[in-house]
Structure 1
């Protein structure tokens, strides 16, 4: 459908009311659809449907054992909390939209707010103004009618893009493509888009609810509870029917009503289902955005991120901000970081360092090639090779020179590489002075040189080069100037030219981590250019496969090139990048670097950033090949190596180029995904933006594999008020204040980042830990039930009284469980734990004072009975005694890494080594243990492990270590394999990472100890 927009005639335009305004909206709800849409989203989850079903069944008086309000009240409250949080988040999105919509924008006739822009308005933008909507460029202050835009807010790219006359289809979300036609008479424009029809508006999409790793695990564990609950209901239902058929008939005096055959099959099982539904408290129901208690905790975590003074950008004084409050805890679950290089790891500030011109090398990696004396002498003498090299540097680009107010020349470049090359050429006396239309003016030394730009062959990620066709205005010659990656230039060199020296230069510069570009040119004949130009214009005007046809035509011209030289540009790493990556890798996080640089450059940058470790600690595996079979064999070989070295401490990484990556993703998806999971580090070089997106879709998270009564008539032991309060208050408040708990201090975590592996490996929340807590709760339930029943078995007590005793026992146990599981106490935590216990008695005293309640006077009577308090003491002792004993055993004899650090924090002593946190994996292929070579610092203090007992072997080890700690120690004396040493029951002396077996048959062991001033020595040790 064509759009005809009348320019600057928004009032009388016949199409004025057909198009939307310029308001943008990221809101998820409106006032009209909030309630139905939110309820629909919440009830789209199975567990929410389950709780709704339970609440509806409570309305059936025949089967409900409690007052329906005990279920409906908490259900409505919890859903209201979730809806309120959703409304609050949506309101914040509305405020953000309002701030963006009310920005001041100037149109030709007046100044208006951004959201008041109408289709057809002429918008006036000044330098560095934000583009308020999709605009068609009509005119600029530039003589050529061009403007540069930055799309960092859209795609993160800080490079400048050129915009001019364009064509575009109907509104779509592709920010890299826009086609539109401008007609001067009559004054209207086809296809002008505003608001949510802009590229940005259509790219946003509908916000989807996010599910964290913990949410998914809770969902599964809640499902396991549900299955267990169904089993219990079936068992109790059968037992209830059996009891009814055997015992109920004997109790003729009770006058049970006559029931139909459906009673046994339906009523009794449903009654037990309602009784057992408390196994999944509504306060931890799995709602759309997780459990409500945890939902509020997540909001607090997000606020802690916003308030963190250590997370402020010092340059801009911008604090951190959590835009999504539902996934805060996933920061501790991050296992993979995929990062670009330029502008992410580096400063994106290019500096021209070295170059190779016609086989001559100029500059060095520590200096600036523009200050090289040999190069300056060659320029002064007018060396033709150097002049042509500098000409390509200055012209083969899309840079626009601009005169500043002070008269200096400023360059507007689309990329930092082009900016660095043009500035370097200017320093070397080849200055790009101005660009008037298609005429470029250069100033070399004192001479003015002019070129006419005939065609520009723009850079693409597929071609990996760009070219310009120019006419030398001095002699009329037509020249093709090209620059690009080595694989895009060197293979197209003229047959007679030797390119070996340029290949060596590229390899040498890449080893230094520099960005390399090859420069070339070719002189064209007039008829050759005319023939090619007609094909290029035809390809540019085609509507089908235009980009492919343009690339094909460009390929015909960019051949038989004369390679002029190689440039090397440095892009410095940002401050703190290596240290940050090192810390994150110690925390067990896997890193992927996706870059368009060549392989050697990417590897050197990875080494500089601490992505990979140098030999011998690190090992780099290469996946290469140009065909499907070659890539398959290479991938299989690397995958086999990864499997066999999985249990070794060696840091193994793999590197793959864009060509092999394309084949691997297309034909070997499963094998490549397995390789991605096994590898700690991956380097993808020469990759395109589309390949980066494909890698981002890999499911990199590894799959974790885990080996390993009263009458049954269906009557609730607890009253309805107690059930309601238990669901809403007693089980939720302690969880909420746990947000203030810290298992370790920030300083300890930063000193030992590998402790994060506990979170990533799922050790804190998995089926195993869930089974432990489920078993603990089952044990506590048995303790409470048995002690409560037997304590009041011989007293004339009502069921409500026994139920209150049991509920009191639950609350007391809950308080002590939360206490022993809390690591760092604050006043709020004490108030929550013990205040919750006091509130329990206050609430029940108030309810007991109401004559119409079923608990009338019960709490008053119980509190006056010594047996009640003795029962509470027995419940706490029986319930917490075994738990405390198990915790003491684990902390003392089998402490985890977290326990070790906690103990060090409490005692104030340092922990020098935590060892390997990752679980040992079974080695698939036994290998000989190669002789180790460990260098120990001369001033290094002996390693002391305070948790080890001072056994004779420990004292012997410490004595030997103190003897050799002042020298550089190299172990050369054992040729046994680890299996042989282990089978021979040899003693082991530990030197940090060095294991020295003392075999019983060895009378003396030689340790080569280099002396400080040359020579060597031998230390003899008798076992």
Structure 2
């Protein structure tokens, strides 16, 4: 088949599996012209969203379409999300509604009893006939009267205020320049502002790896030959470790070629050719340039430039590094590789005889070549644990190389060990016969190939080691450290292989050498269950000994875990005991399942962050979804509740904006209930003094204006501007974030306290004015009427609740002062204008509109009496005195990190706040900033003696298995 016309003549039948969401497997077969069937697997499948490369066209047949594609099978419907605070508020509204109904029932009973006892003695009271029927009717009508009278106990304006505050908070987040990413010209974007407060309560973060934690770039940074390390580059993890030790490292400089971060005066620009070990360095670079499956292509726009096409980013980085250091890979055919060395300036051709593929079991890749001198050689690169076991006895520099591997691994580098050996012609010919037979086998082909490969990969000579940085995004290790100090558990969910995922875990400080690393493995339920139970026992011992453990599990194992409930619960318990969890080789749907499992079974807010289309399901499944607008497109960012430019901005989003929003929204909700109950409960106290008639103490317009005008602005300023601690202090003290985990600012106890306080304030604001002004007489002999008393009570409530919000304010600004005073002045301006208008209307008998304010300003002149102002001042002082002393007592006596950080921050200039500063002397050590004490590594290893501890040397190699088969197909297609 060479063109579309040939394909149109083809008569074939494709049989395949039912549509499913498994991205890494596919089973099918094709029958051409009703002849024998040929198997189809995942290597023959192009997924929706794939890009066509290295060819102008292909011919294929569609097997899945629309919602049956594997990608669509991994997506879920967009769920409706609500914050934990909002859900709790909805429940509390029912409690207030029940409280309101109880008040109505009490007043109804009081009205009926009062009518029975006083029907004859109070002729002016519209009492019913003492028959059961009339009393029942009175009770029924009274209940609804009181329900209307107390209807504003539930703050209807709460949701309007809440949405306005969230919108402004979202705008502030999007305008934060410290979350602006210049390279991508992206700012923080808020798409679901109703979850702002949820950002302040996150306990679990589920993160993708590629493009989220890493830049998706491999950089050749260091290597070592004959125990001599080369390369002066500094990794992000090394920079982070130095920062924690108080050492400031210079920034990386762009030395030499701008295509390579590697720099060493002894190597670059061909300087290695003058070194004493030049031949060893040459052997190392030649191995990098020959032992791979990379295909070179000429750039269409710049034919002199060669573009390396590689399925493995590691191989691309190694080949590019070899080129820039003097050994250039120029071309390849199906059986030859051509390179050019800077020391000779001549092209050299190596004949490729066999490629021994990389597999997850072998953890190495080898090629058998015939060099330009005609010698047979085996070139190998792979994991230290495998390659070192294949070295010849009495190998030089073996222990020293192991030490260097550990040093590179501690810097977060991905390491490979390179080795070679000369082959005997006769031995090779005999071995090649067995190898070809194994390749043609239909039964256990992979295992047979591995067995034959093991026969020739022996007695190797150590050539060197390479160290590649899977470049982390800037600030990732520090961000993960600070989020960990905030007691947030971080799980990494990635489609990468186990070694790659573990290496990144070490690179970004999720894992370290002091941890016990538990690998959950198993091919069936029994094996997985035993692995989980054993790991649970070890993790429990580790927790008792204050040691840390990490867990690594693959997607194939997760499939078994999700089949049974007891396995899921074991997995959850183990995850809670682990400092870090890494799930590798997981599909998008499995990512969502893991998030949902934690979300549905554990108490705590979950957050998922990713940058690609395969992260959308996970982002939508979490309580809060955060997308990174990165190189993989905007699918994740558009599907998320929030989007940021880099992972490091998550720290500020949570520790600063999330914490602020949680506290502010909590204050807004609590204050909204408080102010409404403080005012409208005065109606209840008045009912007890007006014979249960249901008469309102307050004018209907003042009731309407209370939430709409007089108290709206101050609480809005509090919920948008107020800061209990500075942003830099919040970042430097991530432990304060735990207030959200513990619901410090909004819980049933706090809510009950505010409600009790509002009842107390309403009683003070009613009874004090009543006692002070009950027998007050005005000019002309008039005594105070109910409307004048209502205005006085209203004034006391308004000033009290306004002063209360001033007490709740932590950072007093000019905005607070203006809106607080404006609220009080607006009330008095309203009364003067409103009362004056209706006094004039009353003189002309036009008082049909309202009678409440008739005569207040002229006949009674309440505002012009000294007793009124004395009463208002006395009432407010009596109401708020308890609040003031309680706050002072708590702040001065509580051994609380929060109050001590606030006190310390206020005594220091801003430039000191920008850094971590010590707490005041004399504060008990148990409340000081929690930082981990050094762990004795020997005691850790003794604790985990029954566990296979990973002695991490940094091995990671991203390579598609059966790559040689794909390489042959691609090379044949280019001929």
Q: TM-score surpassing 0.5?
A: yes
Residue 835 (structure 2) pairs with residue 854 (structure 1): no
* Residues 54-453 of structure 1: pairs in structure 2 closer than 5 A: 144-145=55-56, 165=60, 167-172=62-67, 208-248=79-119, 251=122, 253-256=124-127, 263=137, 266-284=140-158, 291-352=159-220, 377=279, 390-393=289-292, 396-397=293-294, 400=297, 402=299, 405=302, 407-426=304-323, 431-434=328-331, 442-443=338-339, 446-447=346-347, 449=349
- Give, in whole Å, the separation in 2 of the partners of 1:451 and 1:601: 31
Deviation for aligned residue 1:391? 3.1
Kindly state the Cα deviation for residue 263 of structure 1 after the two structures are TM-superposed. 2.9
The 2-side partners of 1:362 and 1:769 are apart by: 64
Q: Is contact 2:203–2:604 with CA below 8 Å preserved after alignment?
A: no
Match of 2:921 in 1: 945
Compared with structure 1, are the counterparts of its residues 450 and 640 closer, same or farther at alpha carbon in structure 2 (3 Å cutoff)? closer
Q: How far apart are residue 783 of structure 1 and its match?
A: 0.9
Distance 1:942 1:846 in 2: 56
SS in structure 1 opposite 2:217?
Answer: strand
SS for the counterpart of 2:193 is coil
TM alignment of 1:991-1006, pairs within 5 A? none
**Deviation of 1:451 (Å):** 8.1
Cα distance, 1:481 vs structure 2: 11
Aligned to 1:46: none
2:670 aligned with 1:802: no
Distance of 1:877 and 1:889 partners within structure 2: 18
SS at match of 2:82: coil
Partner of 2:951: none
After superposition, give the CA deviation of every residue in 1:728-776 in whole Å (9 maximum; x if it has no partner). Answer: 2333222111111121223433443322222332211222221221121
Given that 1:620 and 1:652 are in contact with CA atoms closer than 8 Å, whether structure 2 keeps it comes out as yes
Distance in 1 (alpha carbons) for counterparts of 2:404 and 2:136:
85
CA separation in 2, counterparts of 1:746 and 1:279?
36
Q: Is the 8 A contact 1:493 1:561 kept in 2?
A: no
Distance in 2 between the 1:510 and 1:254 partners? Answer: 90
TM-superposed deviation, 1:833 = 1.0
CA distance in 2, matches of 1:612, 1:576: 16
What CA deviation, in whole Å up to 9, does each residue of 1:365-398 have, x standing for no partner? 7687986979862586xx8x997775332xx246
Provide closer, same or farther for how the CA distance between residues 353 and 657 of structure 1 changes in structure 2, counting only shifts above 3 A.
farther
Aligned to 2:711: 731
Displacement after TM superposition at 1:726 (Å): 1.8
Counterpart pick for 2:762 among 781, 789, 807: 781
Which whole-Å CA distance do the structure 2 matches of 1:136 and 1:225 have between them? 56
2:364 touches 2:382 (CA, 8 Å); kept in 1? Answer: yes
The superposition leaves residues 156-175 of structure 1 with CA deviations (integer Å, 9 ceiling, x where unpaired) of xxxxxxx885635321385x
What is the correspondence of 1:412-811 to structure 2 with a 5 Å cutoff? 412-426=309-323, 431-434=328-331, 442-443=338-339, 446-447=346-347, 449=349, 508=406, 510=409, 513-516=412-415, 560-562=452-454, 563=457, 568-594=467-493, 606=505, 609-611=508-510, 620=516, 622=518, 624=520, 626=522, 627-641=527-541, 644=544, 650=546, 652-658=548-554, 667-677=566-576, 679=578, 681-684=579-582, 686-689=584-587, 692-699=591-598, 703=603, 709-710=688-689, 711-738=691-718, 739-794=720-775, 796-811=783-798
Residues 338 and 594, structure 1, Cα contact 8 Å, conserved in 2: yes
Contact 1:621–1:653, Cα closer than 8 Å, also in 2? yes
Where relative contact order (Cα < 8 A, 6+ residues apart) is larger, the structure is 2
Give the drift of 1:219: 2.7
Distance 2:746 2:712 in 1: 19
Q: CA deviation at 1:719?
A: 3.0
The CA deviation at 1:300 is 1.3
Q: Return the structure number with greater helix share.
A: 2
The 1:769–1:346 alpha-carbon spacing in structure 2 relative to 1, beyond 3 Å, is same
Query: Would the alpha carbon gap of residues 748 and 407 (structure 1) be closer, same or farther in structure 2, given more than 3 Å must change?
Result: same
Hey, what does 2:642 align to over in structure 1?
Answer: none
SS in 2 for 1:716: coil
Query: How many angstroms does 1:238 deviate by?
Result: 3.5
Q: Is residue 733 of structure 2 the alignment partner of residue 838 of structure 1?
A: no
Distance in structure 2 (CA, Å) of the matches to 1:731 and 1:942: 40
Question: How many Å separate the matches in 2 of 1:805 and 1:136?
Answer: 74
**Using a 3 Å threshold, how does the CA distance of structure 1 residues 484 and 215 change in structure 2: closer, same or farther?**
farther
2:800 is matched with which residue: 813, 826, 843? 813
How far apart in 2 are the matches of 1:279 and 1:323?
32
Q: Secondary structure at the match of 1:433?
A: strand
Contact residue 623 and residue 655 of structure 1 kept, 8 A: yes
Distance 1:375 1:603, change over 3 A: farther
Q: Distance in 2 between matches of 1:639 and 1:473?
A: 52
CA shift at 1:879, angstroms? 0.4
Query: Post-superposition shift, 1:555?
Result: 6.3
For 1:517 and 1:208, the matched residues in 2 are separated by 44
Q: For the residues of structure 2 that align with 1:874 and 1:480, how far apart are their CA atoms? A: 95
TM-score normalized by the length of structure 2: 0.60
**Cα 1:608/1:490, change in 2 over 3 Å:** closer
Give the total of aligned pairs. Answer: 705
Distance 1:692 1:911 in 2: 43
